[in-house]
A and B are shown apart, each in its own frame.
Chain A
Amino acid sequence: MKGKVEASKREELIEQGKQLKERLAGLEEQLTKISELLYFEGQRIPNTTHPSVPIGPEENAVVRKQVGVKREFTFPVKDHMELGLALDLFDFEAAAEVSGNKFYYLKNEAVLLELALINWSVAQLTRKGFVPLSTPDIVRSNVVEKCGFQPRGQNTQIYSIEGTDLCLAGTAEIPVGGLYMDQIVSNSVLPLKLVAFSHCFRTEAGAAGSATRGLYRVHQFSKVEMFIICCPEHSEAFHEELISIEEELFDSLGLHFKILDMATEDLGAPAHRKFDIEAWMPGLDRYGEISSASNCTDYQSRRLNIRYRPVSEALAVKKVKGSLPPLQFVHTLNATACAVPRMIISILENYQQEDGSIIIPEVLQPYMGGLGFIRARKL
């Protein structure tokens, strides 16, 4: 309609313009709606699955490896609750009054054991080149969602803070992922290996029964977590590295455990493949999960928007924009180095003596000032 146009032609054009505008508005509205629906449905699609992952429910998990053997006891074994109460190591009763069920106080040597476990894990992983990190335990709820959790879903694991858009993180995975969100990571710093120390808060809604007695399932605990950000080609290798680090850690604590390749129904949306370690807990007379190592490939990074440009340093310096490969999403992995309550259960139950005292694993003794035993006090 720009430039010289006859009056009648002009009117025709104006009419056409109006109609097009209306139709456009209508279509754009439809597009918005479909788009919303698309993302709503789309983001429910879980990650791809590694071909070696066993298909089916929890029972179909495949044992990759067993380390150590069950200890032979010459006396009746006690569970960690009985041992701990006799040695005055925890108080669940008072915590139930102060905070509610599944909360607890740690006392006396248990506090030292907690600090020793944290220090030892951080030291071990720092030695292996992981960068230590201490994270906030409060995060915005959209960061929680970007990591693949549902803060406001039914049976959510996440506590929310009243009057804010903030939540309590259920694992360090969330604030660590958040640390790099919306960033373009330089190729030269990959892989990023971090060891994060945080406090995890979980509602454990829907979890009930005797299997969750004592320290096994609690609302709050300290955890040391490994996190790797790498380029896609290397994530499988790093997954193997993480699981072998975990194996080394728990073996040096003298525990007997099995490493499981978890089955498809047990993966959780973000995980492409997940290895769990279950330690033998003689007092509970079963294996209990003490750690989990997941390869989330690009599921989290697509949501957290963490990318890198796959170039060599030489090419990057050249800055010839036309020939640079496009940005790609990184792969993220996470693995538990030490979940304090489960470790305390494993240590108390496996290292118990006939008189109810506990031997402290050798590697932890220096971190407890050389203390070798936890013994009852003579009254």
Chain B
Amino acid sequence: MAIGMGLGIKQAATNAFFPLSPLHLPFFLRHSFLPFRLHVLATDIPRSSAFSSFGTSSVNIMSWPCLLRNGYGRVQMSGRQDIIAISSWNAAPCKSRSVVAAASAETLVTKKERPSAGNSSAIEKKDSDGPDRTSWRPSIDFKWIRDNKDAMAANVINRKTAADVEKVVQLYEQSCHLRGEVDKLRAERNAVANAMKGKVEASKREELIEQGIQLKERLAGLEEQLTKISELLYFEGQRIPNTTHPSVPIGPEENAVVRKQVGVKREFTFPVKDHMELGLALDLFDFEAAAEVSGNKFYYLKNEAVLLELALINWSVAQLTRKGFVPLSTPDIVRSNVVEKCGFQPRGQNTQIYSIEGTDLCLAGTAEIPVGGLYMDQIVSNSVLPLKLVAFSHCFRTEAGAAGSATRGLYRVHQFSKVEMFIICCPEHSEAFHEELISIEEELFDSLGLHFKILDMATEDLGAPAHRKFDIEAWMPGLDRYGEISSASNCTDYQSRRLNIRYRPVSEALAVKKVKGSLPPLQFVHTLNATACAVPRMIISILENYQQEDGSIIIPEVLQPYMGGLGFIRARKL
């Protein structure tokens, strides 16, 4: 320890105020620094052995993580300071989740029991000392659906999903009517109860008691009806997909509109090989052994492919951290109700989701799920929006129903690593952030030297949560076609209504005033997600596009520092 500190001070003397790059200058101006700390940014990164695993020269890596500690894009969650309860609007840490729970009574969400979708188990029972997690209801704005039912019905037709807007509207009307009746009866019952207080004649009393009993019975009957209608209403209601952005092309996959093309197809002077052929010749993967050990569509990565995977992950996380996204490493096991709240069907037919035996747990198919879960049931402070996160996780997908040669090799697999961007913001800004996400993806893939097109996906291809979805398809010469390497969705409030993530749209000034009467009501945030790097698809793209005539692969320049300066993947001389 002493040695480490000593070195630091010594180097500070020689490298005192020399920033590593102009990028850091604004931060020096914004925040005060001790010379010792400046040293950290100017540290001469040991060049000798750290990265040169293959004996080639190593390259400096910009100290992008320092941006985290320089106040750029950090979410301070210790003591849950970004979660502000209704009662206190000062900056003091407030851990009161109970206040948050009470606040949720404001919305349409009722806490009534719903037929539980998941199974409890020994493992779950040991953990659960909290609320019943199996029953939940999305916060659907039925009134809005009713008022816009024609547009909603047209939307359902365009998306070709199984939802019945008409039925939902009917059920809603019924439930409103019943609710009115129930309220009336309750009022009557209360009146009768009040009438019985104080001095009342014997005969009158009996009459009142009789009335009371009848009212109670009728009330019980109506309440039971209301519960049933309510359940049906939510069952039908939550099948209704998100609204659709007006610019989204209508129809099937083929109707997607190309927004932009970046780069051009590379001209090959020799016959191209696909990634399987290239990879097997270079001993980069083993699908055969994986089929024995785990089954089809599993794989081992070997040798340089492992280094490539790690390089891709590190590079993506570094790039996004530099842009102010907060890095996150998520659990890959999640409760099934969290999966449902994100718009997936863990126990549906042809489900993409693996479930864990004997529990209500599932394997997450994407980091979107645990990241969404991180904020569920929270009221997010307006001051921390937008929340920008970059999550690194391992995705498990059953790929049930996907077959054929198009899914050979790494193209469609049961498990892979992925770096995902996630944004939580206020509604007015989600469209702008969607554009930001797609332009970040464009920048990432362009700097990898790939040729790709950006598509505005058509209505039938959106998936229930997405209001609008941009996909990027990269040219894969070995497969002789474009293949999806990323997807950026604006889910508006579809997920947040299910995950119950809200904020209060006030300025900081107003917030401090604490005049309760004039505070605007809580609103649902908008959520967006976008793939920064899906490792297998990137490996395909790199192998196939960067192949040389002799079967070796050039490594994209931006990744070389993350592979210890390695420039090529070459066949081993036996």
> Residue B292 at the A interface, CB < 8 A?
yes
Interface residues on A, range: 35 or more
8 Å CB contacts to A: which residues of B272-319?
286, 289-290, 292-295, 298-303, 305-307, 309-310, 313-314, 317-318
B 168-198 to A, binary, CB cutoff 8 A, 1 in contact else 0: 0000000000000000000000000000000
Q: Which of B73-81, B209-217, B224-232, B247-255 contacts A (4 or more CB under 8 A)?
A: B73-81
Indicate the member of B8, B20, B40, B330 with the most A CB atoms within 10 Å.
B330
A203–B20 Cα distance when bound, in Å, is 45
B202 at the A interface (CB under 8 A): no
A138 touching B415 in the complex, CB below 8 Å, given contacts A98-B373, A366-B51: yes
What residue of chain A has the Cβ atom nearest to residue B79's Cβ?
A85
- B334: contacting residue among A99, A106, A108, A109, CB under 8 A: A99
Q: Which residues of B have CB within 8 Å of A197?
A: 306, 310
Which of B60-68, B143-151, B235-243, B450-458 touches A?
A: B60-68
* CB within 8 Å: A-B pair count: 250
* One of B350-358, B401-409, B523-531 at the interface: B350-358
Report Cα–Cα, A114/B330, bound state, in Å. 12
Interface string of A334-367 (1 = CB under 8 A from B): 0000000000000000010000000101110111
Q: Is the CB of B1 within 8 A of A100?
A: no
A109: which B residues are within 8 A, CB to CB?
65, 68-69
Q: Is A159 an interface residue (CB 8 A)?
A: yes
Are B45 and A370 within 8 A (Cβ)? yes
Give every chain B residue within 8 A of A365 (Cβ-Cβ).
Answer: 43, 45
Within 8 Å of chain B (Cβ to Cβ): is A150? no
- In the bound complex, do residue B123 and residue A138 qualify as a contact, i.e. CB atoms below 8 Å apart? no
Contact with B along A99-126 (1 / 0, CB 8 A): 1110111111111101100111011001
Interface string of A140-174 (1 = CB under 8 A from B): 10010000000000000001111110101000000
CB distance from A60 to the nearest CB of B (A): 32
A107 contacts B356, C-beta separation under 8 Å: no
**B356 contact from A120, A161, A367, A372, Cβ within 8 A:** A161
A368 CB within 8 Å of chain B? yes
Q: Is A62 an interface residue (CB 8 A)?
A: no
The reply to whether the CB of B361 lies closer than 8 angstroms to some CB of chain A is yes
Interface check A76, CB cutoff 8 A? no
B300 interface neighbour in A96, A114, A135, A161, Cβ under 8 Å = A135
Cα–Cα distance between A94 and B354 once the two chains are bound (Å): 22
Comparing B103-111, B321-329, B433-441, B502-510, the segment that makes contact with chain A is: B321-329
Known A-B contacts A134-B309, A370-B63, A372-B43; the reply to A143 vs B293 at CB < 8 A is: yes
Q: Contact between B69 and A377 (Cβ–Cβ < 8 Å)?
A: yes
Q: Which of B123, B300, B396 contacts A100 (CB 8 A)?
A: B123
- A60-107: which have CB < 8 Å to B? 71, 85-88, 91, 94-101, 103-107
The listed residue (A98, A107, A220, A369) touching B65 by CB distance below 8 A is: A369
Contact of A98 with B338 at beta-carbon distance under 8 Å, contacts A131-B303, A143-B293 already known: yes
Q: Scan residues 212-248 of chain A and give those whose CB is less than 8 A from a CB of chain B.
A: 219-220
Interface status of B35 (Cβ within 8 A of chain A): no
A103-B333, A105-B329 are known contacts. Are A138 and B43 too (CB-CB below 8 A)? no
Measured between beta carbons, the chain B residues less than 8 angstroms from A164 are 354
Known: A160-B356, A367-B50, A377-B76. A98 touches B294 (CB 8 A): no
Q: Which residues of B contact A94 (CB under 8 A)?
A: 373-375
Decide: A99 near B40, CB < 8 A? Known: A105-B370, A136-B415. Answer: no
A133 contacts partner chain B, Cβ-Cβ < 8 Å: yes
A377 vs B330: C-alpha distance when bound (angstroms): 22
Contact across chains for A123 and B53 when beta carbons are under 8 A apart: yes
A14 within 8 A of B: no
Complex formed: what's the CA distance from A182 to B292 in Å? 10
B467 at the interface (CB under 8 A from A): no
Given contacts A136-B299, A140-B294, A373-B40, contact A97 B329 (CB under 8 A): no
Cβ contact within 8 Å between A359 and B5? yes
Whether the Cβ atoms of B77 and A91 lie closer than 8 Å is yes
Q: How far is the CB of B396 from chain A (nearest CB, A)?
A: 7
B295 and A140 contact, CB distance less than 8 A: yes
Residues of the A chain whose Cβ atoms lie less than 8 Å from the Cβ of B333: 99-100, 103, 159, 201, 219-220
A179 lies within 8 A of B327 (CB):
no
Q: B361 touching A99 by the CB < 8 A rule?
A: yes
Give the CA-CA distance A126 to B52 in the complex, in Å.
Answer: 10
A133 to B304, CA, bound (A): 9
Is A99 a contact partner of B331 (Cβ separation < 8 A)? yes
Which B residues are in CB contact (< 8 Å) with A99? 331, 333-335, 338, 361, 370, 373
Smallest Cβ-Cβ distance to B49: which chain A residue = A127
With beta carbons under 8 angstroms apart, the residue of A85, A122, A366 that contacts B307 is A122
State in angstroms the CA–CA spacing of A86 and B93 once bound together.
12
Q: Is the CB of A163 within 8 A of B332?
A: no
Q: A98-B374, A100-B124, A365-B45 are in contact. Are A378 and B63 (CB under 8 A)?
A: no
Contact B356 A115 (CB under 8 A): no
- Residues from chain A with a CB closer than 8 A to the CB of B77 are 88, 91, 107
Asked whether B483 is an interface residue with its Cβ less than 8 Å from the other chain, the reply is: no
Beta-carbon contacts of A19-31 to B below 8 Å, as 1s and 0s? 0000000000000
B293 and A178 form a contact (CB under 8 A) = yes
Cross-chain contact A115 with B313 (CB below 8 angstroms): yes
Interface residues of B in 68-102 (CB under 8 A from A): 68-69, 71, 74-78, 81, 91
CB within 8 Å for A179 and B75 given contacts A99-B334, A373-B37: no
The answer to whether A134 and B301 touch across the interface, beta carbons within 8 angstroms, is yes
Q: How many angstroms from the CA of A103 to the CA of B332 in the assembled complex?
A: 9
- A371 near B63 with CB under 8 A, answer yes
A136 vs B397: C-alpha distance in the bound complex, in angstroms? Answer: 13
Residues on the B chain within 8 Å of A163, using CB: 355
Q: Mark A281-312, 1 if CB is under 8 A from B, else 0.
A: 00000000000000000000000000000000
Is A259 part of the binding interface, using a Cβ–Cβ cutoff of 8 Å? no
Instruction: Name the CB-closest residue of B to A144.
Output: B293
Judged by a CB distance under 8 angstroms, whether A175 is at the interface is yes
**Quick one: which of B126, B358, B370 contacts A160, CB cutoff 8 A?**
B358
Contact flags (1/0) for B329-368 with A, using CB distance below 8 Å? 1111111001000000000000000111111010100000
| Nearest CB in chain B to that of A95: its residue | B331
Q: Tell me which of A111, A127, A137 contacts B394 (CB under 8 A).
A: A137
- In the bound complex, CA of A254 to CA of B295 (Å): 42
- Across-interface contacts of B355 in A (CB, < 8 A): 161-163
CA distance A114 to B314 in the complex (A): 11
Contacts of B327 in A (CB 8 A): 107-108, 111-112
Q: What distance in Å separates the Cβ of A200 from its nearest Cβ neighbour in chain B?
A: 11
B306: chain A residues at CB < 8 Å are: 122, 132-134, 197
Which of A133, A138, A219 has the most C-beta atoms of chain B within 10 angstroms of its own C-beta? A138
Give CA–CA (A368, B298) in the complex, Å.
31
Decide yes or no whether B376 CB sits under 8 A from chain A.
yes
Q: Are B78 and A351 in contact (CB under 8 A)?
A: no
A26 to B543, CA, bound (A): 61
Chain A, residues 251-287, CB within 8 Å of chain B (1/0): the string is 0001000000000000000000000000000000000
Assuming A105-B370, A115-B313, what are 10 further A-B pairs, CB within 8 angstroms? A97-B133, A105-B328, A106-B329, A109-B69, A123-B51, A126-B53, A168-B363, A178-B292, A369-B64, A375-B37
Closest 10 CB pairs of A and B: A98-B373, A178-B293, A134-B301, A132-B306, A106-B329, A111-B327, A370-B63, A372-B40, A162-B355, A160-B357
Name B's A-contacting residues (CB within 8 A): 1, 4-5, 7-8, 20, 31, 37, 39-41, 43, 45-46, 49-51, 53, 61-66, 68-69, 71, 74-78, 81, 91, 123-124, 126-127, 130, 133, 286, 289-290, 292-295, 298-303, 305-307, 309-310, 313-314, 317-318, 321, 326-335, 338, 354-359, 361, 363, 370, 373-377, 392, 394, 396, 414-415, 564
- A-B contacts, 11 listed (Cβ < 8 Å): A105-B330, A131-B303, A134-B305, A134-B306, A168-B356, A197-B306, A199-B332, A351-B1, A369-B64, A370-B20, A370-B66
